[in-house]
Structures are given as structure tokens and as C-alpha cells.
Amino acid sequence: MKEYAYFPGCSLEQIGLSYNQSSVETTKVLGVELKELEDWNCCGATTYFHVDELLAYTLCARNLAMAEKDSLDLVAPCSACYKNSYFTNKHLREDPDLADHINYALEEDDLSYSGQIEVKHLMEVFYCDVGLDEIRDKVKKPLEGLKVAPYYGCQILRPKKDDEDVEQAEFFEELMSAIGAEPVPYPLKLKCCGGSLLISNRIAALSMVRNLLQNAEDNNADVIATACPMCQVNLECYQPQVNQEFGTKFQVPVVYFTQLMGLALGIRGKKLGIGKEIVAATPLEPYTT
Amino acid sequence: MVKPSFSDEIANLLHASHGNPLITCIQCGTCSGTCPAVDYMDHTPRRIIGMIRANLKDEVLNSNTFWYCASCYHCTVRCPAQIDIAETMYALKRYSIWKRVHQEGLVGPTFSETFVKTILRSGRSFEPILATSYLFSAGVRELIQEGVTATKMMLKGRLPMLPPRIKRLDNFKRMVSRVIPLEAE
Amino acid sequence: MTEGKKLLIIDDDPDFVEGILAILEPAGYDVETAYNPKDGFDALESKHYDLLLLDIMMGRGAEGVMIARKMRKDPKLRQIPVLIITGIREQIAYLFPGGPVHPHFVDVDELVEKPVEPELLLDRVSALIEASEERKAEGS
């Protein structure tokens, strides 16, 4: 059984509760153990970088150090937590002065970090570590006929890491096909949802959400699947605001990819947090029983 | 030594950046064409880079461009000159916050401050507190919309009632004061 | 007394540096400037200085603290007296309203907050250089 240090992040405690539930349930079935970091702290989302990058690295390093203490790679289901942890890891490995300084701060919590672990997004664990074949083998109820718009968003892919293809990603589609669902073409799949602008520039964020919903509807998607709690909340919970602002009538269910995987693996909908939606996930009904 | 210009100042802020310096910009506009928030910016990203290079300090600081950056890094991965444009936007935010100069009426600076303050007090972020930084500038209609959404989410058990905090908070605060030499409250 | 004494300022604010130069140069000091932490540390490693005037908030964040710590680990650089001149409270005060600048965060000789009075600056600079020369004389 493969074990990881699990860093759920602040959003998964409440707003993204069903992402947390479905991540824990699906990994269990696939023989992956997520051991939650014992006293994890916020990754800082995007705002620490507005004030002090060294502070941003320090806070992410605290989580990395706790995972390293257990000799486990760190897994984050939230794209923002993932991106911040991943790049903190990279910078600390490449810049000894920075690492020395951050370690000086970590001493206050009896921790240290030496760059020994890897940081992964939860989707990467499914796609690379578990693998599509293994997933196909474990599928009990393929989601036949369900049209899914695979929404990548930003920070799962960007900034660019090593030789990754940041313009032509297909792993989300492949994962959806592996559980029997039908990924529809979704040309805006890499466009930002505006999550970080929701408070600072509401109208810009709402218009970005509108474009994504429209694009999913134009391609006859039954649901949009996301791999980030910020994207999910922004795309789902702000549909009433989008409709009011732009005179549209969107009712597009937005679910986590782990919820879809869970259904296909035969887990009951309730255990995956299905039912907590503001836009009811009715297209999933045939698969939840 | 000659006194550094505004563009030198920004280059100095970016001294450890992993992209190329702004001087290598060819003004192709790929960043502006890629940016999802460009319609709401008073200057496009391409133009802001041009303005920095022309040392138009007051105009740059007075623009909303960098505060409306969504941190999606689409410009960064596409820049043919390998400039880390999103990182440049962060640098401009730092410059603006440290100098206490920004366009009036922007929510972004207040939001950043509230967010960072919340985390430094508790180790965790807490959505309901964060929303307060937004309320000052919102209109009645937006407030009602937010209220309706919040109520629905509350009913679904998706909004927290109490702010979370980490356990080793004292260690955490001492750790922070080793990188930011200010004593916490 | 001040003749021939060589000082380095590492500070990212060109206006502030200009003001400091206008105080120190007429007093006879030979002052060099670096406007980012990297150039500053390179200068420290390649030349000799009698005193360092160091800002805190630069580049990615509180990089002045990083420089001061790194100097204290270097047997040669640790001899140089360090005077921190910072506006950190002004710059990010909202994070810790009313909080003082942490006095013991790092081993520097002295810390003063911006804006700094010319007399005070000249007084501190000469006192720190004198104290460091006494230390050297005792050591030899």
C-alpha cells in the first residue's frame, strides 16, 4: 500500500468538504493511504507573495518538513496548495541560502527540511502512481453516457514544471475515460476561473466563470469536473450571481473528479459528499444508486 | 553610481526571479492576448511592461493592472522571451504595499492584508473573515447575492462557524518572527 | 577620523540612499551602494568595508535579515559592524499593529528606524566603527 502525507488545505475543511470526503474514500479503494499532516498550516494561497515571498516559503516549508519527518511524499488536492508547496520545494532545493534561512525559522517549531520529498497533486497520484490500468480494473459501475467537461484550471499545470506539456494536457480526459465517462471537448479547459479575483474584482471573476459555463454548455457537458476547491466553488456557487449579472440561465453541475471516480468505484454518493451541491448534480442520479 | 530608475527598482525587486529581466520584452502582446482579466485592466500587461521600461512610475503605481492579475500564469508559460510576468505582477504588488501607494478604491490591497493577518494569527485561513474586506466596497445588490449564497452554503454544511487554528500556534508565531522581524500581537 | 573609512549601503530605495549619501559623504566617508541583496552580498565578499548600512525589506521580502545572518556565519564578514536602518514597521505594520521591531531577531550591532536624523546617523556610524576598531586592536 502506497502511503502519502496528505495536506488537505483550508478549503477542504468546509467549503470543499465533499472533495475531502471523496479523496479519502477513493484512495482507500485504490490501495493508497492518505495520512493527514498532523498540524498543517495554510499555504498562503496567492496573497503571501504580495507581502513577503520568504514568508510564503517558510509557511509551505513547515508542511514539507512535517511530511519529510515521516519520510512521505506530500499530496495536495487543492491546486493552489499544490503549486505553492511544489515551488517552495523546488526553490529550497536550488537555493542553499534560502534553505538555510527558512530552516533557521523552522527551528522554532523543532522542524527542519532538507528537500528529500516530492510534492504531488492528488490527480497525479491517480494518474501516475496508481495508473489507468489499475483504475480500470477496479471500476465497478462505469459512468457510461455521462458527458464530462474536464476542467483543469490554472495551477495544476502552471507555472510550467520541467518538460510538462502545459498547452495540450490530456491526463484529465484519460482519467475520465478510464472510469467509463465521456470527456467532451472543452476548449477553455485551461483558462482561469478567476477564483483569486472573486473578492478583489468580482465582475472580472464572474465573467470568467460565465465563459467557462457557456463553453461547457456549448459542448453538451452534463457536468463540469474540477480538481481544485477554488475552481469548484467559483464555478458552482457563483452561478446565481452570474445569471443575475449577465441575464443567463446556467444550471451546470460542478463536481470533483474524485466524486466521479468514487461513483465508478462503487462508493455510495453520500460518502462522496454528493448532495452538498447548490446546483443539484442530477445527471449523477443514475449512477448514485 | 547613477541613481537607479524606476525600471531598475523593479529589476532589483525581481533579482531572484527565475525568468528573464523585463528588458528582454519584445512587446509582442502574447501576454495581453492570453490574460483572462485583460478587459478589466486599465493597462494591458504588455503596456505595463512598456510603461515600467519607460520609467512611468506614477502611472504604473496608479494602475489596477497588477491588482487584477488572477495569478493564473498563462502569460508566464507563453512568453516567448521567458519573462515571468505573473512574478512581475507580484513584485509590483509588493512594491505598492511596501510603499503604501495604490489606486484608490481597490479591494485587492485590503484583501491581501486581511488574508495575511488572519493566517499569521491562527495558521489557517477562514472564509467568513476574508469576506469582510470585500464588504466595504460592495453594493447592496452584491451583498444580497452574497448573503443568499452564504446561507445556502451554510445549510449544506459548507461554511465554517468558528475560525480554525493550528495547535502549535506559539511555535508558529515565533517561526514567523524569524523571517519577519516584527513581534506578533 | 572619518577619512578613508569605507561604508556600504544595501537598500532598495534610491531616494533614501540619496538622502543617506547626502549626510555621510560631506562628513568624509567613502560610501558605496548596492540596491539589491545579491549585488550587496557580492560587494561584501569582494571588497573591504568598515561598516554596513543595511535595509530589511528588499527583493522577495525581509532579505536584510538573511544577509545579516549569512554575514555572522562568515569568519571575515562577521567583523564588519552592521547598522540596520529599516522602515519595516511602516511597510508592513498592518500585520502586527503596535508590535515593536523584534530587537533580538538577529545579531546586528544596532537597529534604527526610518526616517533617521542626520546627527543620530553620524553619531551611530562613528561609534560603531570606533567600537569595531577597538575590538580588533584588543584581538591582535
For the cut 90, the answer to whether the pLDDT of residue C5 exceeds it is: yes
Task: Indicate the residue type of A285.
Answer: E
Q: Would you tell me which residues 8-67 of chain C have a C-beta closer than 8 angstroms to some C-beta of chain B? A: 12, 14, 17-18, 32-33, 35-39, 56-62, 65
Residue C93 lies in a domain: yes
Distance CA A234, CA A206 (A): 8
Number of other CB atoms surrounding residue C100 within 10 Å = 11
Residue A53 to residue C95, Cβ atoms within 8 A = no
Is the Cβ of B90 closer than 8 Å to some Cβ of chain A?
A: yes
Residue A198 and residue B37 in contact, taking contact as beta carbons nearer than 8 Å? no
Residue C140: per-residue pLDDT: 63
Mean pLDDT, range C2-15, rounded to an integer = 93
Give the separation between CA A46 and CA B49, rounded to whole angstroms.
21
**Within 10 Å of residue A13's Cβ, how many Cβ atoms?**
17
In a domain, C1, yes or no: no
Q: Which chain C positions have a beta carbon within 8 Å of B180's beta carbon?
A: 61-62, 88, 92, 95
Half-sphere exposure of B72 (CA within 13 A, CB side): 29
End-to-end alpha carbon distance in chain A: 29
Whether residue C1 is predicted with pLDDT greater than 70 in this model: the reply is no
Segment B153-180 shows an average pLDDT of: 84
Q: Record the cell numbers describing residue C93, joined without a space.
A: 505594520
* Residues in CB range of A56: below 8 A, 6 or more apart: A44, A48, A49, A84, A88
Cis peptide before C115 (omega within 30 of 0): yes
> Which of B96, B121, B183, B185 to mutate against chain C (most C CBs within 10 Å)?
B183
pLDDT of residue C97: 64
Structural contact between residues A176 and A148, judged by C-beta atoms closer than 8 angstroms: yes
Amino acid identity, residue A183? P
Q: What is the DSSP string of C5-32?
A: -EEEEE-S-HHHHHHHHHHHTTTT-EEE
What average pLDDT values come out for chain A (289 residues) when binned by 10 residues? 93 90 98 96 78 92 98 97 96 97 97 98 97 98 98 96 92 98 98 90 95 98 97 93 96 98 97 94 93
- Alpha carbon of residue A248 to chain centroid: 27
What is the rounded distance in angstroms from the CA atom of residue B72 to the CA atom of residue B78? 12
Q: If you average pLDDT over every residue of chain B, what do you get? A: 87
The answer to whether C91 faces chain B, any CB pair under 8 Å, is: yes
CA–CA separation, B12 and B7 (whole Å): 9
For cell 502552471, name the residue. A158
What value of ipTM does the predicted structure carry? Answer: 0.94
Total residues found in chain A within this entry: 289
Please choose, from the candidates B168, B117, B119, B97, the residue with its C-alpha nearest in 3D space to the C-alpha of residue A44: B119
Query: Per residue in C53-85, pLDDT tens?
Result: 999 999 999 999 999 999 999 999 999 999 999
Q: What is the secondary structure of chain A as a DSSP string?
A: -EEEEE---GGGGTTTHHHHHHHHHHHHHTTEEEEE-TT-----TTTHHHH-HHHHHHHHHHHHHHHHHTT--EEESSHHHHHHHHHHHHHHHH-HHHHHHHHHHHGGGT----S-S-EEEHHHIIIIII-HHHHHHH-SS--TT-EEEE---STTT-S--TT--SSS--HHHHHHHHTT-EEPP-TTTTS---GGGTTT-HHHHHHHHHHHHHHHHHTT-SEEEES-HHHHHHHHHTHHHHHHHHT------EEEHHHHHHHHTT--GGGGTTT--SS--GGGHHHH-
User: Quick one: pLDDT at residue A85?
Assistant: 97
Nearest CB to C62; choose among A52, A97, A100: A52
Mean pLDDT of chain A: 95
Round to whole Å and give the CA distance between A250 and A280. Answer: 12
Spatial contact of A138 and A130, defined as CB atoms under 8 Å apart:
no
Say yes or no to pLDDT of B185 above 60.
Answer: no
The answer to whether residue B101 scores a pLDDT higher than 70 is yes
Average pLDDT of the segment spanning B92-96: 94
**CA-to-CA dists, residue B163 to A16, A280, B122, B126, angstroms:** 16, 28, 8, 6
Could you give the C-alpha distances from A146 to A10, A149, A264, B17, B82, in angstroms and in order? 31, 10, 11, 44, 40
State the pLDDT at residue B113.
Answer: 80
Residue C108: pLDDT band by 50, 70, 90 thresholds?
A: confident
Read off the pLDDT band of B143 (50, 70, 90). Answer: low
Please state, for a pLDDT cut of 90, what percent of chain C lies above it: 71
Number of domains composing chain C: 1
- What's the one-letter identity of residue A29? V
Cα dist from A187 to A17, B55, B100, B182, whole Å = 28, 38, 40, 48
Domains and CATH numbers, chain A: 2-122 (1.20.1050.140), 141-288 (3.40.50.11810)
Nearest to B181 among C12, C98, C101 (CB): C101
Residues found in chain C: 140
Looking at domain B6-99, does it have CATH number 1.10.1060.10? yes
- Could you tell me the three cell numbers for B87? 512574478
Q: A207, A198 in Cβ contact below 8 A? A: no
> What domain range includes position C44?
6-139
Instruction: Report the C-alpha gap between A88 and A216 in whole angstroms.
Output: 34
Average pLDDT over residues C39-49: 97
**What is the domain partition of chain B in residue ranges?**
6-99, 108-179
Residues in chain A within 8 Å Cβ distance of B112: 47, 50-51
pLDDT-based confidence at residue C2 (cuts at 50, 70, 90): confident
Chain B CB contacts of A159 under 8 Å are 73, 76-77, 84, 86
Determine the distance in angstroms separating the CA of A49 from the nearest CA of chain C, rounded to an integer.
Answer: 8
Q: What is the pLDDT of residues A168-179, one digit of tens each?
A: 999 999 999 999
| Cell (9 digits) for C27 | 562628513
Rounded CA gap, A5 and A236, in Å?
29
Among residues A149, A93, A151, A157, the alpha carbon closest in space to that of A124 is found at A157
Rounded Cα–Cα distance for residues B114 and A45 (Å)? 13
DSSP string, A193-231: --GGGTTT-HHHHHHHHHHHHHHHHHTT-SEEEES-HHH
Question: Which of the two residues, B119 and B166, has the higher pLDDT score?
Answer: B166
| Residue B25 pLDDT class (50, 70, 90 cuts) | very high
Q: Which sign does the torsion angle of CA B82, B84, B86, B92 carry?
A: negative
pLDDT value at position B129? 53
All three cell numbers of C104, joined, read 533580538
**What is the end-to-end Cα distance of chain C in Å, rounded?**
21
User: What is the residue whose three cell numbers read 531598475?
Assistant: B8
The chains in contact with chain B, meaning 3 or more Cβ pairs closer than 8 Å, are A, C
pLDDT of residue A48: 67
Residue C105 C-alpha, separation from nearest chain A C-alpha, in angstroms: 10
Q: Domain with C80 in it: what CATH number?
A: 3.40.50.2300
